[in-house]
Structure 1
């Protein structure tokens, strides 16, 4: 403890000396306090040195007590010094003496050429079309928004297009008269102080100077979220000039502000620099542009750019701190220390204070609490949005305001989006598989979160926690004593076979996440957990364990919003009707053992149609499909790998809303019979009336596909646009139901037809042959349909398509289209 405290005292002393040397403290009273603080720190350092050199064990208790008091003193001193320095930076920014971002730095810009060109072109094009435009640019602090705006502002094409170019640093507070006064001073080139003029006078004076002339105005560093204030300023700006074609470019850290202010032109998100661009900026300020990249340096380079994290501001600061002096080996050693060495106070304070403004501008203290909570996770941690919101809920950070109809989840989502819009989270735009949106914090933002939380001891080591999770075999009965527990995640404790019955005593528990590998995992009296809002049952595959049963009477959990899986049972309390009382369900809902549903009335009792917030609904049967399907409002149905299925269900009866139908890998289905089209006693003569996309893929045993036969003149698929039949190697023919006119509008809608790896198909149906609306027709190279198309259909629509647009007939790359689509 002594060594760490000595270091803390020394660093705090350095800060105090720096502030005194830079004359940051203006008040003579504060100067006296600062001098006294410096003397106290010097005295404390001398005492600590004496303690280290003298080993008097009889004083251990007194020394420990004194050291603890000194630790608190150092913390308070650090906070006070931070406030002094921070207030100085903020004061300068408010007075426009200091720019907030890299505009302060030596002008070296990399990787923004395309952005500048795009913005300049958009602005000039709008102006030439006599459109007044507003283009907001947003991004995290230190990403170079102001620098980008300066490059646009100084572009000679802007100077030629506009009569006036004006730059105003807005910051806080957002005072319309002050902004107008700043514009007037710039365009009139006058130093007259007219700050007391009212708005009408300012507008009149601006009209005298700018009337009939186009202007390009940059409003830099905007923090105002009040739309009414912005609308008033916009009205003033638009009333100044008579000629159309003026433009306003806004820089802000908030996506919300950017969306609020945009007009004519879209918002522009300034992305992070690439690794190569970061290295270019770093090496420039390190005076190492000429240093060759060796294999040894390449490894170090990767760690350095990772530390930079795409921020040009940080690249510059680190580069200046590691300047190349001519000794290559020594410089490489310096670089090796960068990833693990904290920035010096002078360096880190500048960068962190720039970034910390985003935190200070957060609209509510509860949002700051949410932000600070994220310091409990290690740097580089990938945040799951839904889970971190539930953790905030557990700490009471997302309680809705009185009179607000939001749920805690809604409030948490709004808070998260605010943090994201302030660029305090970074969206994982490299989530190629779209498994779920993940977010992370830049390392410097994480440092600020630690400073705000002021307790770094709470940070979790997730790398080690994952190991002990896997070794947990059971939860103790005493878990019921954790009466304040609101969030419990045991989803990685794979060895847990059964939860203790005592867990139902956790009456405050809101979220329970667990992995289901056994039949009797859940406690019987789960319904007693009256505060439960999220029951997340994670599965190894697509189905529950074979004899798994839901605890009875889950309908009593009226606050439940998340129920990943529900197994339908026969007994009272376990039927599908239990879902009827769960009105707040949302997100994903998987219904298993649907073969246990005995009647349409029982299915309706689940009230699925009333659960408007359920975004994804999965139906799982353990055996054959039932004779009837009791859900009539589905828009999309996907049947995947139903290994025991030998016959398709009566999908044709789902006539109201079904638009997409996917049948994939039902390997035992040999025939698609008339039952597929629905009940023969149905009154309607049209089946699948709204279906737009139909996919049949990897049906290995499918041989026959019967025509739609009925007592009525059946019409099928009248609005179908895309037909994909792939890898049905035994299929001999398809029914002649595709490509005909829709009787409602008299139009043919079929546009895309695909037959691939259907080796036995040798002829096309009359409907497809004569369909003039087909725009894309896809065959594989070895298809038997090639000769049919090029001979039999000569002179027909397909031949015409082949003659006019030969590129439409093409060979797809080998591989299943449906495989890619389903994943």
Structure 2
């Protein structure tokens, strides 16, 4: 985490602006020299940070040095943030003064991280300058101290050959079959893929986290009798890191020809020519074990795809890697085999086979057996950990010794640290500094916790981990980081959007969680609450900056937290599984450096006014607090706040009028039951997210946000609005929002529940709601109009991928088939829709288009109670229309869900005959289920039909 922190701080120091607008500001100019020196010293330290990060694992002195570096870096970050906050507030005040009466709020300078609210502005700035000078002296001493550790400067691997700590052992094709459990399914699938004659792909990647058994599975398959007989030549090469093309080529040559090339001057071209000569017209299986590089140039320099063209048909390259990017680079993601953890039963069998070797009597002892099961649960299906602990306990003969291992912290067991650390550390070292920080921040969450992707990204933002590269959108960078961690197998057990298949949440393997907690033991602490006055903790120290409180009982926030030595430097305070009802103002006074405050799902009734003093706060989450009715007015003093989460606060009555002061707010999540949004929100020009379907009035209102107030919010990415209080000229009022000018808007949700319009007026409002053509997803609620707007009757929304129409009274559908990028369509609870016909496909008789829904992958029809016919032609023409029959309709449809459509009698012929369905769900559609031909159902891999139907067909009722 030190590396990313220093990188960010160097960038921040490089952009410090020294204003000279008054005598008071000039006093800070004395610090300019110190700031430049501080930055220069940090840049020198940067050169050795990579080496220090690696050595800290085995050298406590290096870890302590890094902790000192982080201490002074955090302090400087706080100083800069206080300075930037005051400067920003001053500039905002000056801007407001020039804008006149249109802006009625001003900022106060009553808070900063040095608790100098009572000092005048000049004294405050003098203190900042003095603090910078002191920190510069501290950093200079840290720079001098680094010479004690012989740290190596960061240089390209080709220039400096520094041995990595805990290097990856060289693997071979040898396998002890008796040590492999629970991989029968994966083995058979992999063998089948290798032997399949018509298989188009050359490369088959096996992907999984370190220690999950990728190499063992590949060894098992490599030595299988069927594989041995199928391939004339087999070669096993341990690639590892760095990717040495010459070394790999030499090893391949040795395997295929038996020739050992001793001449290091041989050029790669000659080596590859020699390989090509020996493998020509022979069927070869080449295993590349432990591939790390995702560099396309390095892979292409090996020329394996070209070489393999000389082999007999059916030759294969089998690759093991812990990085999905490797499979992408090799263009083999479609052939990728992802290796997950072992089942509980297989885990126990593997553990027992090692721990009870030649100890059958102990194995039958119930006490030993119970302990074994508990230890296996701690290993969470990871073969490397199971083998390590099994080997450790093989030589421990008493129940007491086994219990000591069971109840110890797993990473304090020396053998586990040495053997399990190795693969995880290698994966960790391979990450960029900012990604390391994001991974380590996950230590603030409990084990087995399901992360919400967007919440996690907003918390990374609040800590400043995503500020690298000022021209990039932080949320976009956060999603890329999340994807990287997914692809490196640090996350698992993914939850997906049922229709779009987008990952929205995940968990972290218990062993990986232990690993990140080990690396952050001096910064992250989880405390188990025992009452309102105290908590249990065994390792609190004065460097803890991220504190998680577990299972606090109903009542006030435990008072012990305010007494902790580290409370004044905390950057994260989070609660989990707690029922806290009140936050004491004295506690808030101790949290001046807080960036992230997560109080979600408690029983909080009110927040103290002092919360407005937390000037560094970026993320405030009080979602799920049902008893919270109001926010204190001082929450509007949180100048740096970026994310405010108020969703599921069902009794929240209103937001403070001065919300417009939160000019850095980017993400506002509110409960859909909130009556209205305050007018001041119109000043939040940085807002990216406004969701929860808050009411936005479509009429002039002195207090509430109106449609016209959205006009200047041109940074919006996600917008959910519920139309309310329409005026006489509703359509023209909607036009004031200028939704069509919001080029960054990717998700739009429009709800007409409280519109109280006649149908024609509603259609006019819908027409005026035209979004920008860049829109990715569109959700429409409670639309009753019989006419769809012009912008939905063409292919205007050419980038739209997701469309939902919910609880609509309309009897016709828009021509969605015209949209070339549409992947997901959901139609739910349409009361008056009786037929689906040609209008839905967007195809007329005179059309020249050759396809309809060319990209559609998922179609969901639910609650269409009146739907009787779904035909190719429908109202617009006869189902036998030859023009329609010649058009390709839904050629990529893989998932079809039809729920609660009792009158629908059959599917259209193009679905029954041609659809490439992989998933079919039919629920409570008796007539439809009875009409489905057996040959149609038999060719779909995943079918679930539930409900009562005739013909005696067996129905899945799960």
Cα distance in structure 2, aligned partners of 1:501 and 1:484: 17
Specify the SS of the correspondent of 1:428.
strand
2:700 to 571, 585, 589: 571
Instruction: State the shift of 1:205 in Å.
Output: 2.5
Aligned to 2:557: none
1:158 to 214, 227, 240: 227
Q: Is the 8 A contact 1:748 1:773 kept in 2?
A: no
- The alignment status of 1:392 with 2:392, answered yes or no, reads no
Q: Is the 8 A contact 1:223 1:254 kept in 2?
A: yes
Aligned to 1:205: 274
Aligned to 1:305: 376
Specify the SS of the correspondent of 2:377.
helix
- The alignment status of 1:631 with 2:766, answered yes or no, reads yes
Deviation sequence 1:576-628 (CA, Å, 0-9, x none): 12223222323462424264684222223323344564335141422645432
Query: Please, what is the CA RMSD of the aligned residues?
Result: 5.2
Moved more, 475-484 or 292-301: 292-301
Aligned to 2:685: 558
Q: Is the 8 A contact 2:725 2:755 kept in 1?
A: no
Specify the SS of the correspondent of 2:678.
coil
Specify the SS of the correspondent of 2:447.
coil
Q: How does 1:702-721 map to 2 (within 5 A)?
A: none
Cα distance in structure 1, aligned partners of 2:375 and 2:815: 60
Question: Compared with structure 1, are the counterparts of its residues 601 and 136 closer, same or farther at alpha carbon in structure 2 (3 Å cutoff)?
Answer: same
Aligned to 2:119: none
Q: How does 1:86-235 map to 2 (within 5 A)?
A: 90=164, 93=167, 98-99=170-171, 107-125=178-196, 128-129=197-198, 133-235=202-304
Deviation sequence 1:604-659 (CA, Å, 0-9, x none): 3323344564335141422645432323469976657x9xxxxx433556761699
Q: Return 5+ residue gaps in structure 2 as ranges.
A: 1-54, 63-141, 152-160, 526-543, 553-574, 581-598, 772-776, 796-801, 819-824, 844-851, 853-858, 891-895, 914-920, 950-958
Q: How does 1:694-709 map to 2 (within 5 A)?
A: none
Specify the SS of the correspondent of 1:461.
strand
Aligned to 1:426: 492
Specify the SS of the correspondent of 2:694.
strand
Aligned to 2:129: none
Cα distance in structure 1, aligned partners of 2:315 and 2:425: 34
Instruction: State the shift of 1:689 in Å.
Output: 4.6
Cα distance in structure 2, aligned partners of 1:577 and 1:504: 23
Give the greater-gyration-radius structure (CA): 1
Q: How does 1:141-540 map to 2 (within 5 A)?
A: 141-235=210-304, 238=307, 241=310, 243-263=312-332, 266-287=335-356, 303-323=374-394, 330=399, 334=403, 337=406, 344-362=413-431, 364-401=432-469, 405-428=471-494, 437-455=504-522, 456-457=524-525, 458=544, 459-464=547-552, 465=575, 466-468=578-580, 469=599, 470-515=602-647, 516-518=649-651, 520-537=653-670, 539=671
Deviation sequence 1:216-257 (CA, Å, 0-9, x none): 111111111211211222357627835444321111111111
Instruction: State the shift of 1:436 in Å.
Output: 7.2
Question: Compared with structure 1, are the counterparts of its residues 662 and 738 closer, same or farther at alpha carbon in structure 2 (3 Å cutoff)?
Answer: farther
Q: Is the 8 A contact 2:177 2:220 kept in 1?
A: no
Cα distance in structure 1, aligned partners of 2:223 and 2:870: 66
TM-score with structure 2 length normalisation?
A: 0.59
Q: Return 5+ residue gaps in structure 1 as ranges.
A: 1-29, 38-71, 82-86, 643-647, 667-671, 679-686, 709-713, 790-797, 816-823
Deviation sequence 1:163-219 (CA, Å, 0-9, x none): 321111111111211211121233333444233311112123223433333321111
Moved more, 625-634 or 717-726: 717-726
Specify the SS of the correspondent of 2:374.
helix
Question: Compared with structure 1, are the counterparts of its residues 93 and 482 closer, same or farther at alpha carbon in structure 2 (3 Å cutoff)?
Answer: closer
Cα distance in structure 1, aligned partners of 2:815 and 2:230: 56
Aligned to 2:785: 649
TM-score with structure 1 length normalisation?
A: 0.68
Cα distance in structure 2, aligned partners of 1:190 and 1:563: 66
Cα distance in structure 2, aligned partners of 1:353 and 1:432: 37
Question: Compared with structure 1, are the counterparts of its residues 426 and 395 closer, same or farther at alpha carbon in structure 2 (3 Å cutoff)?
Answer: same
Question: Compared with structure 1, are the counterparts of its residues 754 and 394 closer, same or farther at alpha carbon in structure 2 (3 Å cutoff)?
Answer: closer
Q: Is the 8 A contact 1:135 1:249 kept in 2?
A: yes
Specify the SS of the correspondent of 1:391.
helix
Aligned to 2:8: none
Question: Compared with structure 1, are the counterparts of its residues 502 and 652 closer, same or farther at alpha carbon in structure 2 (3 Å cutoff)?
Answer: closer
Q: Is the 8 A contact 1:589 1:614 kept in 2?
A: no
Instruction: State the shift of 1:269 in Å.
Output: 0.8
Question: Compared with structure 1, are the counterparts of its residues 490 and 174 closer, same or farther at alpha carbon in structure 2 (3 Å cutoff)?
Answer: same
Question: Compared with structure 1, are the counterparts of its residues 171 and 778 closer, same or farther at alpha carbon in structure 2 (3 Å cutoff)?
Answer: closer
Cα distance in structure 1, aligned partners of 2:863 and 2:199: 53
Specify the SS of the correspondent of 1:174.
coil
Q: Is the 8 A contact 1:719 1:748 kept in 2?
A: no
Question: Compared with structure 1, are the counterparts of its residues 690 and 265 closer, same or farther at alpha carbon in structure 2 (3 Å cutoff)?
Answer: closer
Question: Compared with structure 1, are the counterparts of its residues 807 and 193 closer, same or farther at alpha carbon in structure 2 (3 Å cutoff)?
Answer: closer
